[in-house]
Structure 1
Amino acid sequence: MRVVLSAYDSRGGVEPLIGLAVRLQGLGADVTVCAPPDEVPLRGVPFVPVGRSPREIMRGPVTGTIPERAGELVAEQFAKLPDVLAGADVVVACGILPSVAGARSVAEMLDIPYVYAAFQADSLPSVHHRPIARPGHPLDPAVTDNRALWDQDAEAANALFRDVLNAERERHGLAEVKDVRDYGFTDLPWLATDSLLGPWPEPSDLEVVQTGTWILPDEGVLPDDVEAFLEQEPLPVYVGFGSMPVAEELARAAVDAARAQGHPVILAAGRAGLDAEDCLVVGEVSHPALFKRVAAVVHHGGSGTTHTAARAGAPQVIVPHSGDQPYWAQRVTALGIGATGDDLGAALRAALAPETAAHAAAVAAAMYPDGAAVAAELLIEEFRP
């Protein structure tokens, strides 16, 4: 069986595909991952680069309008994916909408089954939550009807992406798409989140297949300097904001808050190149291995980091910036496994409280252990020829 996994996103939106790929390979499937360069910890999985590196884009300058950049990405899907999809039994797509709509279009052109997977519930239409605002289309704070907001979201998606998608589809003999969002998401999307940490709210107008979160199965080995640093008492606090271009002042505030509580700090340099003389500054390290051994995790609230910290039983402080991050901050707070808020000192004190550690340990014990294995088995069962 041949499976193609496609995503255009930053690392947090690409790495889950590697967890799924590893599980699929373990079941005998031939797997290829298509994703932007510089975002994939390959682990022996065949890889085809598609689209510009998000790291390169973040370094700027950003040129062109959002529809123009979306059009370039859709065109690249049509240029790269046909060769990769030749002989495939299914394509699974994740990431930003123009990418998944382009991937589905190529799959449609080649008559290959297509599955869309989301990594957070609030990116899928539901009466229970508001959509994430699209660029240049802020949500009206006066509108409280979530159905009305999701209708507006569909209009915003069409305004941004429909013309460029349909222009490329027309060049390849495909019919016009009238609703870009619903086309990319399908009427049976998968949700790769843990049902305790990120449940799909019911009752729902949309049927969803929730698999559990896709995480790499192995924890990796920590560097010697990290191992030595973890021997301290009290345990260090981890501070890291992933690919977010955060200000140094925020990192400094997080470090100062931890040190005020008497804890040393492991600071992830991340994309922002953060640094501090009074911390252990690290590059890429195994989060599953590290988070099991720290007092708390201070981070931006991406789906992958939130799930990894929760599975490790580490109390969390989330400083959300954009996208799905406020949703994960709300979920962590609701479960009592961490805190959020403008006052980092108060949030960290709450996270370090014994009752928060107890809740975090209980949630970790209750989470499903391997959503990637569930998703792999579903794909094999449904699409194996």
Structure 2
Amino acid sequence: MRMLLVTAGSRGDVEPFAVLARRIQGAGHAVRLALPDNSGVDVTGLDVTALGVDYSTLIQQQGVSFAAVLRSYRTVVRPAMHEVLIGSVRAALDYAPDVLVAHPKILSAPLIADGLGIPFVWVEMVPAVTPTAEFPAAGTVTRNLGPFNRLTYGAAAGGAAMFRQDLKEAARLVGAQGAAPRASATLMPISPAILQRPADWPPTVHLTGPWRGGAPEPVPREVSDFIAEGDFVYAGFGSMVAGDPVARAREVIRGIRATGARALVATGLGGLSVPSDVTGTDALVTRSVAHDVVLPRAAAAVHHGGIGTVQAATAAGTVSVVVPFIADQPFWGSRLNARGLGPAPIRRRALTSARLAAALSRVDQYRPAVRDAARSMAAEDGPAAALAVLETVGR
């Protein structure tokens, strides 16, 4: 079987696809991964093709706020999405897959499936497309709206309207003729230990568990020495370029210090920028860390609440203190708190050293539940569960 996997976005949108591609390849299937440029993900040994969009550079230049997206819609967002939508079509025409597996940002996926006469599968990284009455769509509101929760899932349909002309071009290129087909299945690489499966999801939706795997990233000597000394809190906001990263780093380090712990700070693409007035022997600053090595040793993890980091911390048995910025992050912060897996999230604009210290002082009460969740996640094999679905779809 030939499978084409297509994804778009930052590293968190790419890495799970690379893990799945390796599992598919290991099972003896042919697989190609279409992905953004310079994602930072190790794709050694995989058959890959580039979509021609560098999300890391876009994030560093534009930031991640909704206002920044609106300001740059015509000059940056629209051209980037055009490349993604048309690049996905070209990748499919070139590879001629038997099955298409696509991130929801690949709005042209149903058209590709129609034009090539093949099944396609959505990979819903966060629950924002498949409606449920149990909670609102991630990235909309965090308050439970009861029976009106289903209405929040209409927000995803707005994307198709924004890029209508690009989708018409994609349809012409691939030869799509009729109404776009429905997905044969939806895969969600999310652990049931973090998100309980809603009773009203259709049976074609599969909560597989996270897609993790591959060799651990190398750890610099200074980082390994630092974590070996114990008693530290990890802090990192990845690609969250918004607000004042210097002031934010100052509050984070001071908040960690107030608890008597040392701070391991990952600056990422600019989420944190550590000023000289808060540096010291009790604070190590690095660009990024290997979560699978660092998080199991951390007393707590202070982060933005992206699903990748949420699952990495929980699988490590480490309590998360979430400081959400955008999109699905407030959803995950609220989910963790509602399930007794972490303190209430701290809004980005409300982050102070005092609030962070107060949250960190409460992490011990959540540790037993997080360790239980970690034991449950250790028994999950998300890529295997996803592959089993794909092999059924492709028959």
Please give the per-residue CA displacement for 1:178-201, whole angstroms capped at 9, x wherever unaligned.
8xxxx6x73632211111212231
Please give the per-residue CA displacement for 1:121-173, whole angstroms capped at 9, x wherever unaligned.
24432222223568xxx99999972233334x265334313343124313543
Task: Please name the residue that 1:231 is paired with.
Answer: 228
Task: Please name the residue that 1:64 is paired with.
Answer: 74
Task: Please name the residue that 1:257 is paired with.
Answer: 255
Task: Please name the residue that 1:358 is paired with.
Answer: 368
Across the aligned residues of Structure 1 and Structure 2, the Cα RMSD in angstroms comes to 2.8
Task: Please name the residue that 2:123 is paired with.
Answer: 117
Output the CA distance in 1 between the equivalents of 2:143 and 2:384. Answer: 40
Task: Please name the residue that 1:333 is paired with.
Answer: 337
User: Mean alpha-carbon deviation: is it higher for 36-45 or for 140-149?
Assistant: 140-149
- Contact map agreement 2:317 2:373 (CA 8 A) in 1: yes
* DSSP-derived class of the 2:361 partner: helix
Output the CA distance in 2 between the equivalents of 1:272 and 1:364. Answer: 29
| 1:309/1:90 CA distance change after superposition, 3 Å | same
- Contact map agreement 1:240 1:269 (CA 8 A) in 2: yes
| 1:164/1:318 CA distance change after superposition, 3 Å | same
Task: Please name the residue that 1:316 is paired with.
Answer: 320
Q: Which runs of 5+ in 2 are unaligned?
A: 63-71
Task: Please name the residue that 2:6 is paired with.
Answer: 6
Task: Please name the residue that 1:37 is paired with.
Answer: 37
* TM-score, reference length from structure 1: 0.85
Output the CA distance in 2 between the equivalents of 1:124 and 1:38. Answer: 30
Letter in 2 for 1:330: S
State how 1:154-165 maps to structure 2 within 5 Å. 156-165=158-167
1:242 to 207, 224, 238: 238
Matched, 1:379 2:390: yes
| 1:76/1:144 CA distance change after superposition, 3 Å | same
Letter in 2 for 1:263: A
* DSSP-derived class of the 1:229 partner: helix
Task: Please name the residue that 2:200 is paired with.
Answer: 203
Letter in 1 for 2:125: F
Q: Which runs of 5+ in 1 are unaligned?
A: none
Per the TM alignment, residue 73 of structure 1 is displaced from its structure 2 partner at its CA by 2.7
| 1:166/1:140 CA distance change after superposition, 3 Å | farther
2:151 to 144, 148, 151: 148
- Contact map agreement 1:301 1:326 (CA 8 A) in 2: yes
Output the CA distance in 2 between the equivalents of 1:295 and 1:59. Answer: 30
User: Mean alpha-carbon deviation: is it higher for 257-266 or for 20-29?
Assistant: 20-29
Output the CA distance in 2 between the equivalents of 1:316 and 1:141. Answer: 22
Please give the per-residue CA displacement for 1:306-340, whole angstroms capped at 9, x wherever unaligned.
10110000111011111111111012112322222
Output the CA distance in 1 between the equivalents of 2:139 and 2:332. Answer: 16
Task: Please name the residue that 1:166 is paired with.
Answer: 168
Per the TM alignment, residue 10 of structure 1 is displaced from its structure 2 partner at its CA by 0.8
- Contact map agreement 1:193 1:199 (CA 8 A) in 2: no
Letter in 2 for 1:13: D
Task: Please name the residue that 2:91 is paired with.
Answer: 80
- Contact map agreement 2:110 2:183 (CA 8 A) in 1: no
Matched, 1:189 2:220: no
Per the TM alignment, residue 24 of structure 1 is displaced from its structure 2 partner at its CA by 1.7
| 1:251/1:24 CA distance change after superposition, 3 Å | same
Please give the per-residue CA displacement for 1:190-238, whole angstroms capped at 9, x wherever unaligned.
21111121223113467412211111244344222111101224x2111
- Contact map agreement 1:122 1:327 (CA 8 A) in 2: no
Per the TM alignment, residue 291 of structure 1 is displaced from its structure 2 partner at its CA by 0.7
- Contact map agreement 1:50 1:76 (CA 8 A) in 2: yes
Task: Please name the residue that 1:349 is paired with.
Answer: 361
Output the CA distance in 2 between the equivalents of 1:319 and 1:263. Answer: 19
Per the TM alignment, residue 271 of structure 1 is displaced from its structure 2 partner at its CA by 0.5
Deviating above 4 A after TM superposition, structure 1's stretches of 4 or more consecutive aligned residues are 65-69, 138-144
| 1:294/1:21 CA distance change after superposition, 3 Å | same
Output the CA distance in 2 between the equivalents of 1:295 and 1:143. Answer: 36
Please give the per-residue CA displacement for 1:239-264, whole angstroms capped at 9, x wherever unaligned.
01111114322222122111111111
Task: Please name the residue that 1:304 is paired with.
Answer: 308
- Equivalent residues, number: 367
Please give the per-residue CA displacement for 1:241-299, whole angstroms capped at 9, x wherever unaligned.
11111432222212211111111111112000734333212233321121111111111
Output the CA distance in 2 between the equivalents of 1:360 and 1:139. Answer: 22
Please give the per-residue CA displacement for 1:84-125, whole angstroms capped at 9, x wherever unaligned.
x22x222211152xx2x2233223322232111112224432
- Contact map agreement 2:51 2:83 (CA 8 A) in 1: no
* DSSP-derived class of the 2:32 partner: strand
Per the TM alignment, residue 21 of structure 1 is displaced from its structure 2 partner at its CA by 1.6
2:381 to 358, 370, 373: 370
Task: Please name the residue that 2:111 is paired with.
Answer: 105
1:269 to 245, 267, 270: 267
| 1:327/1:227 CA distance change after superposition, 3 Å | same
Matched, 1:127 2:105: no
Question: Percent identity over the alignment?
Answer: 29
* DSSP-derived class of the 1:125 partner: coil
